[in-house]
Amino acid sequence: MISVKLHELGLMDYQEAWEYQETLFSEKLATKTANRELHSEHQIPIAHDLLVVEHPPVYTLGKSGKESHLLLDQMALSDKGIKYYKINRGGDITFHGPGQLVAYPILDLEQLRTDIHWYMRSLEEVVIATLAEFSIVGERYPGFTGVWLDADKENARKICAMGVRTSRWVTMHGIALNINTELDYFSHIVPCGIDDKAVTSMSAEKGGDLNFAEVSAAFIRQFAKIFDVEIV
Answer yes or no: are the C-beta atoms of 169 and 109 closer than 8 Å: yes
Burial 11-48 (b: 16+ CB within 10 A, else e): ebebeebbebbeebbeebeebbeeeeeeeeeeeeebbb
CB-facing half-sphere around the CA of 111: CA atoms within 13 A = 19
Known catalytic residue at 192: yes
Q: How far is CA 159 from CA 16, 19, 23, 26, 40, in A?
A: 25, 26, 29, 31, 43
Angle at 200 between CA 197 and CA 203, to 5 degrees: 170
Among residues 53, 107, 192, 229, which one is catalytic?
192
Helical spans, DSSP H, in the chain? 14-35, 74-80, 116-132, 202-206, 212-227
Distant-in-sequence, close-in-space partners of 154: CB < 8 Å, separation ≥ 6? none
Catalytically active residues, by annotation: 192
